[in-house]
Structure 1
Amino acid sequence: MLSTAAEREEAAALVQDRQRWLTLHRLPVPARADIPAQFREAQTLSAGLFEDGRLLACVIPEYDPDLGWGQGPCLFLRSVHTLPGQSDDITRLVTLWASDFAARVALYVVRAETLARHALEAEPLAALLRRLTDTGWDVCGSGPGRDGDRVARLELPAEHRPGLRALISCQVRVPEFAPDDRSTA
C-alpha cells in the first residue's frame, strides 16, 4: 500500500507522466476524473509495485460487491498506471498479483476497465487488448465505465499462485477488500 505522503506523491507523478505519454502518442486520457489527485489523497487505498525502491506501477484496488457488469463480487482494479517506457513485464506482474490476491481473499474474479473511445477492434486499443488477453484477461465488451467514460470491460479469473511470493512481496491488507475478518493476504 502507498502509506506515506511521499509515496502517494510519487504515484501521482507517475500518473501524470503516463497521461503526458498518452497525450503525446494521441491516445485517450480520462477526462472526467483528476486521477493524480486520487493518488495524493490519504484516504484512497492505493497500492504500488516497487522494484529496488522505484515505483513502476500504481493502482487503486477495491472490493466491489456489484460492479454493474459481470456477475458477483470482484477485486476491481481502478486507475492502473505503469511507468512509461517499461516493458509489458510490469503489466504481467500486476496481472499475476491481482489474480493471486483475489484468490487469497476468496474472490473469483478481478475486473478492470480501460478507455475505449472507439470500437474495440480499432487500433491502438485493439493492440492493448491483445496484450492484455495474452496475459490472461478476457474482454467482456464495452460500455460506460465507473467514471462515465466509454470503456472496454476486462475480467481475469482469480488463481492461487504460490510461487509468486518469490517475485512479489504483497503488503495489501485484506479487510479493505473482502467482507470477512482475515487480517493479511
Structure 2
Amino acid sequence: MRPLSTDAERTEAGALVEERLTWLTRRGLPVRLRLDIPDLYCDQRWESVGLFEDDLLIGCMILDGDTDARGPALFLAHVHTLPGRTDGVLRLITLWASDYAARCGLRHVRAEVLARHDLSVDPIARVLDRLQTMGWSLTGIGTGEDDERVARLELRAELRPLAPLIGCTVPLRCAVSSWVRCNP
C-alpha cells in the first residue's frame, strides 16, 4: 500500500475507478450518481492510496478522518478494486486499514457502501455479508457523503503483523485532525 503521489499513479487510479464503474454498470449493479469520482484521484488535496501487486494497481481509496459520537476513526472513501479481483483485494484492504488505523492510534475504521434498496436484498445483501465475514460491522443506514443512501460500516482497529503480506509506505497520521475533512 502506498500513496498515489505521482500524476501517473493518480491517473492510473482514475482509470481503475472508471473501469470498475463501467463493470458495475454493465452488470446492472448500482453505482454512485456522482460523476467526478475518477477526478478525485487526480486532485492532490485528497490523500489517495493504492494497493499494488507487482506494480499493478489492484485497489485504491481516499483516506480521511472521521469523528462522531463513537470517537475518531480512519474513514475509507471511494474504495475501488480492479474488476475480477474484488474479494481478495477487499480482504487485503481490510487487514491493512485495521492495522494502519491502530498504528495511527485510532480505534476504528469506517466506510460506506451504496445501499439504494433494502439491505436484505441482493446485491447489497451479498456485499454486506462478505464484508461482515471480513470483520466489518454494520452500524446503520443513512445519507452518505454524496447525499445517497448508504450502509455505514465500522471495523475495529487492530495491530497486525502484515509486513510479509502487505508493504506500506503510507505516512502515519497521529490524529484525525491532521486530515482535512473532505467531502470527496
Superposition TM-score, scaled by structure 2 size: 0.91
- CA 153–7 in structure 1, closer or farther in 2 if over 3 Å, else same: same
Tell me which amino acid in the other structure corresponds to 1:38.
L
Flag as ranges the 4+ runs of structure 1 deviating above 3 A.
Answer: 175-180
Find 2:53's aligned residue among 41, 46, 51.
Answer: 51
Mapped to 2, the partners of 1:41 and 1:175 lie a distance apart of 20
Q: Following TM superposition, by how much is the alpha carbon of 1:111 offset from its aligned partner in structure 2, in angstroms?
A: 0.3
Q: Following TM superposition, by how much is the alpha carbon of 1:43 offset from its aligned partner in structure 2, in angstroms?
A: 2.2
Mapped to 2, the partners of 1:65 and 1:88 lie a distance apart of 28
Find 1:34's aligned residue among 33, 36, 39.
Answer: 36
- Contact persistence 1:45–1:61 (CA under 8 A): yes
**Deviations, residues 12-31 of structure 1 (Å, cap 9, x unaligned):** 00000000011011111111
Give the corresponding residue for 2:147. Answer: 148
Mapped to 1, the partners of 2:114 and 2:131 lie a distance apart of 13
The structure with more strand, counted as a fraction of residues:
2
Of 6-15 and 29-38, deviating more is 29-38
Aligned-CA RMSD value: 1.5
Mapped to 1, the partners of 2:22 and 2:89 lie a distance apart of 19
Mapped to 1, the partners of 2:19 and 2:106 lie a distance apart of 32
- Contact persistence 2:77–2:111 (CA under 8 A): yes
- Contact persistence 2:99–2:157 (CA under 8 A): yes
Give the corresponding residue for 2:182. Answer: none
- Contact persistence 1:62–1:177 (CA under 8 A): no
Tell me which amino acid in the other structure corresponds to 2:118.
A
Give the corresponding residue for 1:170. Answer: 168
- CA 2–138 in structure 1, closer or farther in 2 if over 3 Å, else same: same
Mapped to 2, the partners of 1:121 and 1:9 lie a distance apart of 36
- Contact persistence 2:65–2:72 (CA under 8 A): yes
**Deviations, residues 85-114 of structure 1 (Å, cap 9, x unaligned):** 115111100000000000001100000001
**Deviations, residues 99-148 of structure 1 (Å, cap 9, x unaligned):** 00000011000000010000110111100000000110011121100111
Give the corresponding residue for 2:109. Answer: 110
Q: Map of 1:57-96 to 2, 5 A cutoff?
A: 57-66=59-68, 71-96=70-95
Q: How many equivalent residue pairs?
A: 176
**Deviations, residues 60-98 of structure 1 (Å, cap 9, x unaligned):** 0112223xxx61111000000000011511110000000
Gaps of 5+ in 1: 181-185
